[in-house]
């Protein structure tokens, strides 16, 4: 369910049709297995019933022979034997309905036990290994060679040897894909080397206790992960016993304290799922605080300050210098100011450390580091290398300020729920129910009880009629299955009729007549057995087919409806990826509790009861009425059971969705979870949520046990009363004893069927709740209808954009004005750059352009057309985007590029052309599988720069008239940035382009630079015009001062 995790929300919406098709294609496998299961179950159930009736025929034939010819038994003894066999055989036959549950359970358990039994190469739960008494923090790589398990043919590290000394800050630099981040992962023992070893203070890392090792390491990644709880708890993840004073101190060191204290809820502010309610710079500072509160002996920084402005970076660097004594710091970075602050710089190339020294030494050597610095200085229009080397410190400072300014203001990606928020917006976040894993039970439940928190929607159970209507396309299968089920239901009372007929034959005076009738009845048993075999098979196959098609249809339509919702819908925690995945996985299959094979069982039970009642009333209406007096008690028991279990089903759904959110958060961010050593904490939080349905199961068992016991009691009481009254009717009203047996056997067996039908109640209750949730989703009408064909379209799309006095508030935050009169225009082919501090509305303006939202007042005009009146799919098909955090699909590079345009089949030649324009083709051709190389989940097999260029190729192949660039090069290394920037420059040619960036080289050549503050443009013009005005933009460029 990767689609729910996409950071580029535009991609989710534009490629929805392809994603639905891909999802449906994978559903076919589940459907086939479900149908096969039904066929096998139907065959063996039919075979079992056929065998039972053949046994009846043989037993009656041989039993009658013992009575009539040998005289070994009396008819009474024979009746006792047959009644015992009857009840045993019937219960054995009825147990066949449980075989499906056993088969399903075994199949599910296979996968679970395979996972449980799998022995990990690196066991993070292991208590084995040494724990050093004292740690200096000296790390050494000894001829380390490494390849990822998924790509054994590609060497990432190749005989890497290097020493990182304690008490020093070591910067690792190199081109994209040279193995820098991989080296950090080996230090954390996410992987072990293929050859060679990594040592800590002379000890092989593999000999050390892994939990202890990771507790000594602090890690800040270039894409920081925050968890769905408060800021304080996110920082406390670094050290469980951290006091509030420690948390405040760490926040100050990370330069996060001031922005946190500006929030109304301060440290208790919820960050949203994945930190989605905070900007990139804010997330990075909280992540740094989390690492610092740990006070680690080893601190690993992987592009850790890429989203920070100069002031924040300087503060963090100062904090790092303070803790440097006695600590080991390894920093993977590309910003000169970060690298130059290091004691030692190590240059990586092709998985090997090729040079080592200080900034000045490596510049003199003119190797890898010199090349990277040269590229960066050229990209930022520095005068010359000598200036960088330190001859003119003023120039150096100026260069730093021009290299990056207002960093952290633009890091929120275009995923709609990850918005740049102003501090006033964040004030409301505390009222959203969090997924607090640190103290999951208390935090989550207390917040849900908060009077201001959104109430859980009360969903009424869905009517069965609507469920069946949704299953209507399968009516031929359901009809065939229903006929089979009806015949199967008739078999049991028919057995009672034949059984009483055999008993009646023993009262005949003529033995030949007895033998003739018994043989005839035995043949009927054989015929019934053969018919039962066929009808059981038909019932199993037909209802398995209809049920699986219903499940597939619900999942497909549910997934389609989810992708068609407005962006605000995904902001609700109840619609988090974990909850939605759980809903699709479990709810759709549970709906079969009111359809599919359950219909067959209900039809069978209903027919059983109906035929039994017809037989009973035909032969003795008086005795039948006496027995029926007990039926209301059975109905009452079933009604109570249904009502109570329906309530339990709702509670189970809620608990399992929360458990799904926890697993989703843990598994999606497994590297961060492992890095901070919080696996046990997530497991405990998961267990807390599983405990709820477990306890509910006990209450359900009590209800079910009481109701089932009561219904069985009624059956025996009914038996007692009916035999007593039957005994009265035989002498007093001349009722034949065979009729008494016939009536009682029929009704008792029908009561058994009624009891069996009540056993479906738990599944039926869950099915109605699950169906209701699906129908609630399908019935929802989003304010912006993605699937609608209505709206304006035109042939000559130019790309003229006009924001006309736009005012906007997010639907969930109606009191907070995000855009307050935004007015700016850009003509076809021009480039507009948005500049401004966090929360000023830059990303929001792009969201309005793509119609993720519509403005409350004002208009967004596209080629003179009001965006509200433009067809959504048409508009988005003419827009391409490259964002800071590109998300790729788990398929080949070829397919990922083709995702750029799903309106037609894209030839390979066009894909290759797009790859060449994105500076990507040569890299792809160097891979063993070339364009068919699988990129892994979210592009995990590729470096950041490689992913970024694939995203650019994807945008190019789309050939959009409007191109949006959201921090497309902010966290790339120098070489990758140069290549990506060149690709972007080519992609911008002839297109209207809107840029959100902080690099001067990216925006200074824009036709229009719009400086935003508090939701409106306060300055606009070219770079030269704005510098001449000496206003906000001038201050931003020259001093890095934030725009107020």
| pLDDT tens readout for residues 691-727 | 777 777 777 777 777 877 887 787 778 778 888 888 8
Q: Measuring CA to CA, which residue among 724, 870, 716, 868 is closest to residue 789?
A: 870
Share of the chain above pLDDT 90, in %: 0
- The mean pLDDT of 520-526, rounded to a whole number, is 87
pLDDT of the residue at 882 = 78
The pairing of strands 139-146 and 217-220 is: unpaired
- pLDDT beyond 70 at 380: no
Q: pTM score, two decimals?
A: 0.59
Q: φ and ψ at 289, to 5 degrees?
A: -60, -40
* Residue 142 exposed, middle or buried by CB count within 10 Å (0-12, 13-18, 19+): middle
DSSP 61-78: HHHHHIIIII--S-HHHH
Instruction: Return all residues near 9 (Cβ < 8 A) that are at least 6 apart.
Output: 414, 415, 416, 417, 567, 570, 852
Q: φ and ψ at 1005, to 5 degrees?
A: -95, 10
- The span from the CA of 541 to the CA of 667, in Å, is 37
Q: Where is pLDDT greater, at 657 or 239?
A: 239
Q: Measuring CA to CA, which residue among 880, 916, 917 is closest to residue 899?
A: 880
pLDDT of the residue at 321 = 66
Q: Which residues of 684-697 are buried (b: 16+ CB within 10 A; e: fewer)?
A: ebbebbeebbeebe
- pLDDT beyond 50 at 582: yes
Angle value at C-alpha 481, between 476 and 485, nearest 5 degrees: 150
- pLDDT beyond 60 at 6: no
pLDDT of the residue at 221 = 77
Q: Which of 127-136, 431-440, 741-750 shows the lowest per-residue confidence on average (mean pLDDT)?
A: 431-440
- The span from the CA of 236 to the CA of 668, in Å, is 20
Q: Which residues of 816-836 are buried (b: 16+ CB within 10 A; e: fewer)?
A: bbbbbbbebebeebbbbbbbb
- The mean pLDDT of 172-180, rounded to a whole number, is 79
pLDDT band at 339 (very low <50, low <70, confident <90, very high): confident
Share the mean pLDDT of the chain. Answer: 75
- pLDDT beyond 60 at 530: yes
- pLDDT beyond 60 at 12: no
- pLDDT beyond 50 at 63: yes
- pLDDT beyond 50 at 9: no
- The mean pLDDT of 295-318, rounded to a whole number, is 69
- The mean pLDDT of 893-912, rounded to a whole number, is 80
Q: Give the side-chain half-sphere CA count within 13 A for 839.
A: 17
pLDDT of the residue at 668 = 72
Most confident option among 103-107, 399-403, 430-434: 103-107
- The mean pLDDT of 293-318, rounded to a whole number, is 70
Q: Measuring CA to CA, which residue among 942, 946, 943, 935 is closest to residue 896?
A: 935
pLDDT of the residue at 412 = 31
| pLDDT tens readout for residues 32-62 | 877 888 888 888 888 888 888 888 888 888 8
* Cβ count near 485 (within 10 Å): 29
Q: Where is pLDDT greater, at 798 or 255?
A: 798
| pLDDT tens readout for residues 423-461 | 333 333 333 333 334 444 434 444 444 433 444 455 677
| pLDDT tens readout for residues 754-799 | 656 666 666 777 777 778 888 888 888 887 877 777 888 888 888 8
pLDDT of the residue at 415 = 32
pLDDT of the residue at 746 = 79
- The mean pLDDT of 504-513, rounded to a whole number, is 76
- pLDDT beyond 70 at 501: yes
**Alpha helices by DSSP H, 404-474:** 423-426, 440-449, 464-470
pLDDT of the residue at 322 = 64
Contact 743, 620 (CB under 8 A): yes
Angstrom distances, CA of residue 1037 to CA of 379, 420, 860, 993, 1008: 16, 21, 29, 22, 16
Domain architecture of the chain: domains with CATH: 1-95+459-620 (1.20.1560.10), 139-382 (3.40.50.300)
- The span from the CA of 39 to the CA of 32, in Å, is 11
pLDDT band at 612 (very low <50, low <70, confident <90, very high): confident
Q: Which of 382-396, 670-684, 1010-1024 shows the lowest per-residue confidence on average (mean pLDDT)?
A: 382-396
pLDDT band at 315 (very low <50, low <70, confident <90, very high): low
Q: How many residues does the chain have?
A: 1044
Q: Measuring CA to CA, which residue among 610, 922, 560 is closest to residue 747?
A: 610
Q: φ and ψ at 413, to 5 degrees?
A: -80, 175
- pLDDT beyond 60 at 152: yes
pLDDT of the residue at 425 = 34
pLDDT of the residue at 500 = 79
pLDDT of the residue at 428 = 32
Instruction: Return all residues near 974 (Cβ < 8 A) that are at least 6 apart.
Output: 334, 372, 373, 375, 376, 379
| pLDDT tens readout for residues 959-1002 | 788 888 877 666 565 666 666 677 777 777 778 888 887 666 67
Q: Where is pLDDT greater, at 649 or 21?
A: 21
Contact 975, 175 (CB under 8 A): yes
- The mean pLDDT of 294-312, rounded to a whole number, is 71
């Amino acid at each position: 369910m990767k689609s729910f995790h996409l950071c580029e929300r535009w991609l989710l919406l534009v490629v929805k049709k392809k994603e639905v098709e891909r999802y449906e294609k994978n559903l076919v496998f589940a459907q086939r297995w479900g149908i096969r299961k039904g066929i096998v179950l139907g065959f063996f159930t039919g075979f079992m019933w056929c065998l039972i009736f053949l046994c009846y025929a043989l037993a009656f034939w041989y039993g009658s022979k013992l009575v009539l010819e040998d005289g070994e038994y009396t008819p009474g003894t024979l009746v006792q034997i047959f009644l015992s066999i009857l009840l045993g055989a019937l219960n054995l036959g009825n147990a066949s309905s449980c075989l499906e549950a056993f088969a399903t359970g075994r199949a599910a358990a296979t996968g679970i036990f395979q996972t449980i039994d799998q022995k990990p190469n690196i066991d993070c739960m292991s208590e084995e290994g040494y724990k050093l008494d004292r740690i200096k923090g000296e790390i050494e790589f000894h001829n380390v060679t490494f390849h990822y398990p998924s790509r054994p043919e590609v060497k990432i590290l190749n005989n890497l040897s290097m020493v990182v000394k304690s008490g020093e800050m070591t910067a690792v630099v190199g081109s994209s894909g040279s193995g820098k981040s991989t080296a950090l992962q080996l230090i954390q023992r996410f992987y072990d080397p293929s050859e060679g070893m990594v040592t800590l203070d002379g000890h092989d890392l593999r000999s050390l206790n892994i939990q202890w090792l990771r507790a000594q390491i602090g890690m800040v990644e270039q894409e920081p992960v925050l968890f769905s709880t408060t800021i304080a708890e996110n920082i406390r993840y670094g050290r469980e016993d951290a006091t509030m004073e420690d948390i405040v101190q760490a926040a100050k060191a990370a330069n996060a304290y001031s922005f946190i204290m500006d929030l109304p809820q301060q440290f208790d502010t919820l960050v949203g799922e994945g930190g989605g309610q905070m900007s990139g710079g804010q997330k990075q500072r909280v992540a740094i605080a989390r690492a610092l509160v740990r006070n680690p002996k080893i601190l690993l920084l992987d592009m850790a300050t890429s989203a920070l402005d100069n002031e924040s970076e300087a503060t963090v660097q100062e904090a790092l210098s303070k803790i440097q004594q006695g600590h080991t710091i390894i920093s993977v970075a590309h910003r000169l100011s970060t690298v130059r602050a290091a004691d030692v710089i190590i240059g990586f190339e092709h998985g090997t450390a090729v040079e080592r020294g200080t900034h000045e030494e490596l510049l003199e050597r003119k190797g890898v580091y010199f090349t990277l610095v040269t590229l960066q200085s050229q990209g930022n229009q520095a005068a010359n290398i000598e200036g960088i080397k330190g001859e003119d410190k003023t120039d150096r400072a100026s260069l730093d300020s021009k290299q990056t300014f207002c960093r952290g203001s633009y890091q929120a990606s275009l995923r709609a729920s990850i918005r740049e928020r102003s501090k006033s917006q964040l004030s409301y976040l505390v009222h959203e129910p969090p997924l607090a894993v640190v103290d999951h039970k208390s935090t989550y439940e207390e917040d849900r009880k908060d009077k201001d928190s959104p109430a859980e929607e009360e969903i009424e159970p869905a009517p069965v009629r609507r469920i069946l209507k949704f299953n209507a396309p399968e009516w031929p299968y359901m009809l065939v299955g229903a006929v089979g089920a009806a015949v199967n239901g008739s078999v049991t009372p028919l057995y009672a009729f034949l059984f009483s007929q055999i008993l009646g034959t023993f009262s005949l005076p003529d033995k030949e007549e007895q033998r003739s009738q018994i043989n005839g009845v035995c043949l009927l048993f054989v015929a019934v057995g053969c018919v039962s075999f066929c009808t059981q098979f038909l019932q199993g196959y037909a209802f398995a087919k209809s049920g699986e098609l219903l499940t597939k249809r619900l999942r497909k339509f549910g997934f389609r409806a989810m992708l068609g919702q407005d962006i605000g819908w995904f902001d609700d925690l109840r619609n988090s990826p974990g909850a939605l995945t759980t809903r699709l996985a479990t709810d759709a299959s549970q709906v079969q509790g009111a359809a599919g094979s359950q219909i067959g069982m209900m039809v069978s039970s209903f027919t059983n009861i109906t035929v039994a009642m017809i037989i009973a009333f035909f032969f003795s209406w008086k005795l039948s009425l006496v027995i029926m007096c007990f039926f209301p008690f059975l109905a009452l028991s079933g009604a109570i059971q249904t009502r109570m279990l329906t309530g339990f089903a709702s509670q189970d759904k809620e608990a399992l969705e929360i458990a799904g959110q926890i697993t989703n958060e843990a598994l999606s961010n497994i590297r961060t979870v492992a890095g901070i050593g919080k696996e046990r904490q997530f497991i405990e939080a998961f267990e807390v949520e599983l405990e709820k349905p477990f306890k509910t199961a006990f209450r359900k068992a009590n209800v079910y046990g009481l109701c089932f016991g009561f219904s069985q009691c009624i059956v025996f009481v009914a038996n007692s009363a009916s035999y007593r009254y039957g005994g009265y009717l035989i002498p007093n009203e001349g009722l034949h004893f065979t009729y008494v047996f016939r009536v009682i056997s029929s009704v008792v067996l029908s009561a058994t069927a009624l009891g069996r039908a009540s056993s479906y109640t738990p599944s039926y209750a869950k099915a109605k709740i699950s169906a209701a949730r699906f129908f609630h989703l399908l019935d929802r009408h989003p304010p912006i209808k993605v699937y609608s064909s209505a709206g304006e379209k035109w042939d000559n799309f130019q790309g003229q954009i006009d924001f006309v006095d736009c005012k906007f508030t997010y639907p969930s935050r109606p009191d907070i004005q995000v855009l307050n009169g935004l007015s700016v225009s850009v003509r076809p082919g021009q480039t507009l750059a948005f500049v401004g501090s966090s929360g000023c509305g830059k990303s929001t303006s792009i969201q309005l352009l793509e119609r993720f939202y519509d403005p409350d007042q004002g208009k967004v005009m596209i080629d003179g057309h009001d965006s509200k009146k433009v067809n959504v799919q048409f508009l988005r098909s003419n827009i391409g985007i490259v964002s800071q955090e590109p998300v790729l699909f788990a398929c080949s590079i070829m397919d990922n590029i083709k995702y750029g345009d799903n309106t037609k089949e894209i030839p390979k030649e066009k894909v290759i052309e797009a790859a060449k324009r994105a500076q990507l083709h040569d890299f792809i051709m160097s891979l063993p599988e070339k364009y068919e190389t699988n990129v892994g989940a979210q592009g995990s097999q590729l470096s950041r720069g490689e992913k970024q260029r694939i995203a650019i190729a994807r945008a190019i192949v789309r050939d959009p008239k409007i191109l949006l660039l959201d921090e497309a090069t902010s966290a790339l290394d120098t070489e990758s940035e140069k290549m990506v920037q060149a690709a972007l420059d080519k992609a911008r040619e002839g297109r209207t382009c809107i840029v959100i960036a902080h690099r001067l080289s990216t925006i200074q050549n824009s036709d229009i630079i719009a400086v935003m503050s508090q939701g409106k443009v306060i300055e606009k013009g070219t770079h030269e015009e704005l510098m001449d005005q000496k206003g906000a933009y001038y201050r931003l460029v020259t001093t890095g001062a934030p725009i107020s």
